Amino acid sequence: MVGSIANSLVELGEDNTTPMVPLVDNVGTTCLAITEPEVGKEAVEAKDASIEDVLVKYVEHLKERTQHHLGYPYNLDFDYGSVIAKLSGFSINNLGDPFIESNYGVHSRQFEVAVLDWFAHLWEINKQDYWGYVTSCGTEGNLHGILVGREVFPDGILYASKETHYSVFKAARMYRMECVKVETLVSGEISWEDLQAKLLLNRNKPAIVNANIGTTVKGAVDDLDKVIQILERNGFKDRFYIHCDSALFGLMMPFFNQAPKITFKKPIGSVSVSGHKFIGCPMPCGVVITRSIYEKKLSDFNQVEYLASVDSTIMGSRNGLAPVLLWHGLSRKGYKGLRKAAQKCLRNAIYLKERLRESGISALLNPLSSTVVFERPIDPTFIQQWQLACEGNIAHVVVMPNITITKIDEFIEELLEMREAWFRGGKIAKPCVAENIGRENCLCELHKI
């Protein structure tokens, strides 16, 4: 694999030194044919054998891809096999409100509410004061949080930094909300000066602010206290709603010493987190928590006689297996296990950053983050091999509990071998990423000390 990557061609820009960055590398995928089964015992047996062969090969493919996964924030270190085996024969559907049972009895609400209570305790909101549900993913949590904000302030303007996850801008389009993009610092954190300036341009309308508790690419955290101070100082007191997109770090930061707190004791409106990221889960899932007083603005209009329940969720029918697995994962790990895993991620992220910089590779690691940003590798094949997430001239590795020192060393060794081939002879200049990650983090010929 290494040799084939090293020998592949690299397309250069007009100056013959700077690699061109394709906007989209993956333009298609393979597919499997579904054929009609034939009649007869031998034909059925042959069909079953063929299906089994496809699945066996698929499992081997998944194992290989799991071993070379670095770029996306998924904890792939989990084992729910015994739980899934017990429940795979049931169609578990938590349709409707998690706190109001419907006429459909094959559900897991008792597990779902237990998970919600756990997160409510983590984020310091009393049981009677919150509402929430287990979502299908972090995006659904953002869609719901922004929707609640719009219902609280129908004429409000949505403010989000330009490094916000795309799902927030998707919400703005879906709900036809006016949305203002705010500039960011080189770290990826929201620019407080630009946020204040843009708020003042629209002082007559309420503000719905998305706060990033870990940006998608750089893992930067927007300081909640600063957001609140700016809103209150500029005439928005009691006229703002803050949604916290905490997809990954919402579960990690509570276990870091001196990390800013995510808490409903502050005047925030909602928090969303992904369940399949830090905890680890075989299917995408998440949690969204908001204040019950806000949720009534949705639930009062969502009485569903057909369900004999209320439904103000985004999806309606919801995966009932996910709450059971989240309950299982949280019960097994507990606060001590999660703290240990979070601190391991931070240590290993520091190790990765130091190894990159010792090797002459520009790299950024924000405080209290496990997202290591570095120069985008030149070869798309190498990027796909390690499943790196890229944006412009930079790529990142999100160090999760399953990312070991051994795996980091393997990645670094292969990356260095590739770079030797890419930059041999000086025909291609090592990239300058000062604009992306700051001059102090760039080790190009111009900026290295």
CATH number at residue 387: 3.90.1150.10
Domain end call among 332, 365, 392: 332
Nearest of 162, 134, 132 to residue 222 by alpha carbon: 162
**Quick one: 214 and 288 in the same domain?**
yes
Q: What is the pLDDT of residue 311?
A: 84
**Quick one: 319 and 349 in the same domain?**
no
Each of the 449 residues of the chain gets a pLDDT tens digit; together they read: 444 333 333 343 444 344 444 445 555 667 888 888 888 888 889 999 999 999 999 999 999 999 999 999 999 999 999 999 999 999 999 998 999 888 899 999 999 999 999 999 999 999 999 999 999 999 999 999 999 999 999 999 999 999 999 999 999 999 999 999 999 999 999 999 999 999 999 999 999 999 999 999 999 999 999 999 999 999 999 999 999 999 999 999 999 988 889 999 999 999 999 999 999 999 999 999 999 999 887 766 677 777 777 888 999 899 999 999 999 999 999 999 999 999 999 999 999 999 999 999 999 999 999 999 999 999 999 999 999 999 999 999 999 999 999 999 999 999 999 998 888 766 778 889 999 999 999 998 888 76
Domain end call among 304, 332, 360: 332
Residue span of the structural domain in which 182 resides: 86-332
Q: What is the pLDDT of residue 301?
A: 64
| 3-state DSSP percent of the chain in helix, strand and coil, to 5 | 40, 15, 45
Q: How many structural domains are present in the chain? A: 2
In a domain, 81, yes or no: no
Q: What is the pLDDT of residue 192?
A: 96
**Choice among 102, 309, 312, 369 that is catalytic:** 369
Structure tokens at 276: 């399949």
**Quick one: 308 and 177 in the same domain?**
yes
In a domain, 276, yes or no: yes
**Quick one: 130 and 178 in the same domain?**
yes
In a domain, 448, yes or no: no
**Quick one: 232 and 211 in the same domain?**
yes
Give residues with Cβ within 8 angstroms of 179, minimum separation 6: 157, 158, 159, 160, 169, 172
**Quick one: 286 and 399 in the same domain?**
no
**Quick one: 53 and 194 in the same domain?**
no
**Quick one: 68 and 191 in the same domain?**
no
Structure tokens at 153: 């302030």
**Quick one: 159 and 204 in the same domain?**
yes
Nearest of 394, 387, 338 to residue 365 by alpha carbon: 394
Q: What is the pLDDT of residue 12?
A: 39
In a domain, 449, yes or no: no
| Each residue's pLDDT tens digit, 348-406 | 999 999 999 999 999 999 999 999 999 999 999 999 999 999 999 999 999 999 999 99
Q: What is the pLDDT of residue 307?
A: 74
Give residues with Cβ within 8 angstroms of 325, minimum separation 6: 80, 83, 84, 275, 281, 282, 283, 285
The phi, psi pair for 321, rounded to 5°, reads -75, -35
**Quick one: 133 and 243 in the same domain?**
yes
Q: Can you give the CATH number for the domain in which 147 is found? A: 3.40.640.10
Distance of CA 19 to the CA centre of its chain: 28
Residue 286 exposed, middle or buried by CB count within 10 Å (0-12, 13-18, 19+): buried
Q: What is the pLDDT of residue 304?
A: 78
Q: In whole angstroms, how large is the CA radius of gyration of the chain?
A: 24
Domain end call among 298, 332, 366: 332
In a domain, 191, yes or no: yes
Structure tokens at 21: 């960055």
**Quick one: 300 and 363 in the same domain?**
no
In a domain, 32, yes or no: yes
pTM of the model: 0.90
In a domain, 446, yes or no: no
**Quick one: 97 and 191 in the same domain?**
yes
Residue 369 annotated to the active site:
yes
Q: What is the pLDDT of residue 266?
A: 97
